[in-house]
Structure 1
Amino acid sequence: MTAAVRKRGQWKSPWGFVLAAIGSAIGLGNIWRFSYLAYDNGGGAFLIPYLVALFTAGIPLLILEFGIGHERIGSAPLALAKVHPRWEWLGWWPVIFVMFGIVLYYSVIIAWCVDYVFYAVRLSWGADPDAFFFHTFLGASGAPSRIGAVQTPVLAALVGVWCLTWAIIVRGVSRGIELANRIFMPLLLVLTLILVGWSLGLEGAREGIRAYLRPDFSRLAEPKVWISAYGQIFFTLSLGFGIMIAYASYLPHKSDITGSAVVTALANSGFSLLAGFGVFSVLGFMAHSQGVGVEQVVTHSIGLAFVAYPKAISLMGPAGKVFGVLFFLSLVVAGLSSSVSIVEAFTAAVVDKFGTDRRTLAGVLCVIGFVGGLIFTTQGGLYWIDIVDHFLNAYGLVVVGLLECVAVGWFFRIETIRRHLNRVSRIPLGPWWNWVIKLVLPGILGVILVQQLVEELSRPYGGYSWASLIAIGWNWVLVTLLASFILAMRPWHQEADLRKGRGDGR
């Protein structure tokens, strides 16, 4: 066993790794974003492009990221540097923009969920959840340039979110992340099953399920529907974050990598489908109670959780308070399991590169994360979240995924990764997988990227001013990209770490 393997933390069991990977993949978007996309893109017919995307893009790319981390034995920067030193920056970029971008606002959204757990007890949103959320709770200023004051309830909850994240990260891989996910994932499943079972028994639930699953096959002719399906699969599996590479590097030599990737992907998608039944059962109940169609109560993304659901909870009577607490608690659990994985991806990268003490680093990162997230707790924070989320997801993650395929598929012997995976895994990969990585995935991600750029240049995203989009969105992307090149130029504390991995590639 090499020194690189001996000094790395390891999962106590293969299932500990799988639970952690599933915990990273399953997040807030599984509960509200998938359901809305299905409704908005042909109902049950959306499942066709969704499943095609899962098997042609999601699982192959997840196998690639698991394979890179396991075969090259390292976090994203170390693993990509072992592929070729010139590609080290590609490992740094995702862990930088998820740590100093995505997790900053994601932790604030988790803080919203924490606050709503307590609000549900007294139905604090009153008769108008829409006005309560946007005006009373967030104090939305109307524009990103009008930052305004910090919202105290959000700030207080954010302190708790980062304290819990620190407590998990500082304990390391087996005693921290693995243990937390052994608690979080079963708890999330139980909470979700209770909520779905409860929702299915509500009056009008059948109408909601019909709206969720009713197939409109004519929508399959629209390119937008297919792009939405591939985009959802890509983002929901934490691909391009650098997380799955780091997690796989903590596995022992003999590990079922391909099997773990399949289980992780199917569990993630299965959870999305399950949560969708609960979401639309509640929307059907709302529609029935108010005497309107389901399409009139569906609100996009964040509004679905913080406006539509509170309205439904208020209509449930005394039992609604219990339902509300369980719902928002499930969001907190889903969010925490994902945010912890993001911080761990960056922690692993810095420890690999500079040999920094994990405990010290965890404390520093959580403090920086909390301070960096303050901008999103202000009255202009909602608009900052929207812009930063759009740019980092639409460009950062897609470009990283595309370049990972190019780097490993064309500038490294991809056959080395495939042979390694076949040696340690139960599910063998044929030569077809090489070509999926080399041609199919770059083509799909390239189409998504071009489509995003065309839309971006045709009109300003979200109706924001070009000045706001450049100052916040584009600058966030470019600054994190510059930081990745700067860190890649720094020397490794142990040059021996750059030696080849478990396989025979160099």
Structure 2
Amino acid sequence: MSQEASAPQRPRLRESFTGRTAFIVVAVGSAVGLGNIWRFPYVTYENGGGAFLIPYLVALLTAGLPILLFDYAIGYRFRGSPPLAFKRLHPKAEAIGWFQVGICFLIAIYYAAIVAWAAMYTWFSLTQAWGDDAAGFFFGEYLQYDEGGTAGTGISVDFVAQVGWPLIVVWLILLAALAAGVRKGITRISLIGLPVLLLMFVLLVGYSLTLEGAVDGLNALFTPEWSALSDPTVWIQAYGQIFFSLSVGFGIMITYASYLKKRSNASGSGLVVGFSNSSFELLAAIGVFAALGFLAAGAPLDEVAESGLGLAFIAFPTIIAEAPASALLGVLFFGSLAIAGLTSLISIMEVVVSSVKDKTGWSRPLAVAVAGGSAAVVSVTLIGGVSGLTILDVVDAFSNNIGIVSAALVAVFLVTWVFRRMDVLAEGLNAYGSFRVGPVWKALIGVVLPVVLGYLLILDVQDKVQNGYEGYDSWVLGTFGWGALALMLVLAVGMSLLRWNTSSAMHLENPETEEAA
């Protein structure tokens, strides 16, 4: 064997953000997503209005920020994607990271479709293509939605051109950004996308406040129902909203924190990201309910207030059709939705790409081609067809409410009580942090979070087992819900049993090494 062939490979430096500002912008771009715009306003309205802000703030301080710092600490201290970081945290913890990767893969499959829909509706807004029947246009003419899968007659993947081709374009943009790397791809898109998003949404809120009935909408949203504070369900909703809106618990913030330079203020950055996310949610609530007040035209807001796809693709097109300067309103709303979705989607797929790259030692372009290309093919095949909405709805309900929560619950419990690594994580945050974490933070992670997450998980699993979900046939739930989660769990264990390639990050990246300036 030649001397060149036997020579050991040289250690390499991990990719990194250019600085703390870049990290904060990218992390905020990940946290601010679709849930901020279409979930928080409705959850607030349904759970005590202005009074809901009290449990929401308590949840932010006692669960949201602590688990955000927990994710930061793992990624920052152990310098890797979820599988690598957990492997370095404890030799038997790698499977936790791979399950988080699997959840990200599932979410990316359908999340890309919603980004594509929002982009198309930005275009449709110019001509109000939905006419007088927003619901009929969305389900029928645009999606060509086939409800057969809900009745057990079969899922169809027949390609729908106006849905599938925009979805392909979204994936091409996404994969190009990921292939360009942390600095040239992910950071650049976030540095452009986040300011544009904020500008568009501020304009949207300002416009919505000028609409007739806007004050009625805001009164309905923020008038406090103090009696709601005695309802445990309201508090659980507050913790659920905080948890789902911060991009925590499924590997995103672990991955992003691994790209921080060694001497970084991770704890201070966590506060900025957490409060920025909540501020945007409040801004979104004002804009959305001001517009809904206009749509209600004096009628009870219950008749028009919706969440999720109903708000975005049915209620808001109806508002746009009746509002003055309708094209402007539509471009602002759906453009904001598309940008917020894209920056979040990039962070979701970066977890998958980074993990594959770390494990195999492949170049970033190759990891993007294999991991990202696989996700794109599955996404276009399943969600780009006439039954795409059924598959999207089921995968979303199970991957978010069961997958993310269970992954986070297992992680905080094992790290705290089994692996007992909280002291190491605290030391990593405290080394250069703007404030010190200690016993209170550890108690919140080890006691409060397992209780809250466990309760959320039990409630949701119990409901789905007893009542199913949205009337879908049991085989649909078994395949795209329970089955998808089970497959991710099996793959997580299988991936954790595979040896790390000798050219992988495990062997060639030293977590203690200082990055180059």
TM-score by length of 1: 0.95
Q: 1:320 to 1:27 in 2, by over 3 A?
A: same
C-alpha displacement of 1:5 = 8.8
Q: What is the aligned-residue identity percentage? A: 40
Give the aligned residue type for 2:406.
V
**Correspondences of 1:21-60 after superposition (within 5 Å):** 21-60=27-66
Is residue 246 of structure 2 the alignment partner of residue 237 of structure 1?
yes
Q: Deviations over 1:434-467 (max 9, x none)?
A: 1211111111111111111221222112122222
Instruction: Give the structure 2 partner of residue 160 of structure 1.
Output: 169
Q: 1:299 to 1:5 in 2, by over 3 A?
A: farther
Q: Is the 8 A contact 2:352 2:371 kept in 1?
A: no
Instruction: Give the structure 2 partner of residue 422 of structure 1.
Output: 430
Q: 1:148 to 1:367 in 2, by over 3 A?
A: closer
C-alpha displacement of 1:262 = 0.9
Q: Deviations over 1:195-226 (max 9, x none)?
A: 00111111110001111111112222222222
Aligned equivalents of 1:132 and 1:206: distance in 2?
30
C-alpha displacement of 1:4 = 10
Aligned equivalents of 1:84 and 1:283: distance in 2?
50
Which segment is superposed worse, 375-384 or 85-94?
375-384
Q: Is the 8 A contact 1:5 1:73 kept in 2?
A: no
Instruction: Give the structure 2 partner of residue 77 of structure 1.
Output: 83
Instruction: Give the structure 2 partner of residue 406 of structure 1.
Output: 413
| Aligned match for 2:98, one of 88, 92, 98 | 92
| Aligned match for 1:386, one of 386, 393, 397 | 393
Aligned equivalents of 1:496 and 1:372: distance in 2?
28
Q: Deviations over 1:329-370 (max 9, x none)?
A: 111100000011111111111111110111122133333222
| Aligned match for 1:115, one of 110, 120, 127 | 120
Is residue 444 of structure 2 the alignment partner of residue 436 of structure 1?
yes
C-alpha displacement of 1:501 = 4.5
Instruction: Give the structure 1 partner of residue 384 of structure 2.
Output: 377
- Count of residue correspondences: 497
C-alpha displacement of 1:502 = 4.4
Structure 2 stretches lacking a partner, 5+ long: 1-8
| Aligned match for 2:132, one of 113, 124, 127 | 127
Give the aligned residue type for 1:134.
F
Instruction: Give the structure 2 partner of residue 13 of structure 1.
Output: 19
Q: 1:306 to 1:9 in 2, by over 3 A?
A: same
Instruction: Give the structure 2 partner of residue 451 of structure 1.
Output: 459
C-alpha displacement of 1:496 = 8.0
Aligned equivalents of 1:87 and 1:395: distance in 2?
20
C-alpha displacement of 1:377 = 2.1
Q: Is the 8 A contact 1:24 1:337 kept in 2?
A: yes
Give the aligned residue type for 1:354.
T
Is residue 379 of structure 2 the alignment partner of residue 363 of structure 1?
no
Q: Deviations over 1:45-97 (max 9, x none)?
A: 21111111111111000001000011111110001001112110100111122
Instruction: Give the structure 2 partner of residue 203 of structure 1.
Output: 212
Q: Is the 8 A contact 1:82 1:500 kept in 2?
A: no
Q: Is the 8 A contact 2:134 2:313 kept in 1?
A: yes
**Correspondences of 1:269-288 after superposition (within 5 Å):** 269-288=278-297
Aligned equivalents of 1:257 and 1:282: distance in 2?
38
CA RMSD of aligned residues (A): 1.8
**Correspondences of 1:240-389 after superposition (within 5 Å):** 240-288=249-297, 291-317=298-324, 319-373=325-379, 374-389=381-396
Instruction: Give the structure 1 partner of residue 6 of structure 2.
Output: none
Structure 1 stretches lacking a partner, 5+ long: none
Aligned equivalents of 2:191 and 2:337: distance in 1?
17
Q: 1:502 to 1:442 in 2, by over 3 A?
A: farther
C-alpha displacement of 1:33 = 0.8
Which segment is superposed worse, 350-359 or 147-156?
147-156
Q: Where does structure 1 differ by over 4 angstroms across 4 or more consecutive aligned residues?
A: 3-6, 498-503
Is residue 106 of structure 2 the alignment partner of residue 106 of structure 1?
no
| Aligned match for 1:490, one of 476, 498, 506 | 498
Aligned equivalents of 1:362 and 1:180: distance in 2?
17
C-alpha displacement of 1:371 = 1.5
Q: 1:405 to 1:102 in 2, by over 3 A?
A: same
Q: Is the 8 A contact 1:42 1:216 kept in 2?
A: yes
Give the aligned residue type for 1:127.
D
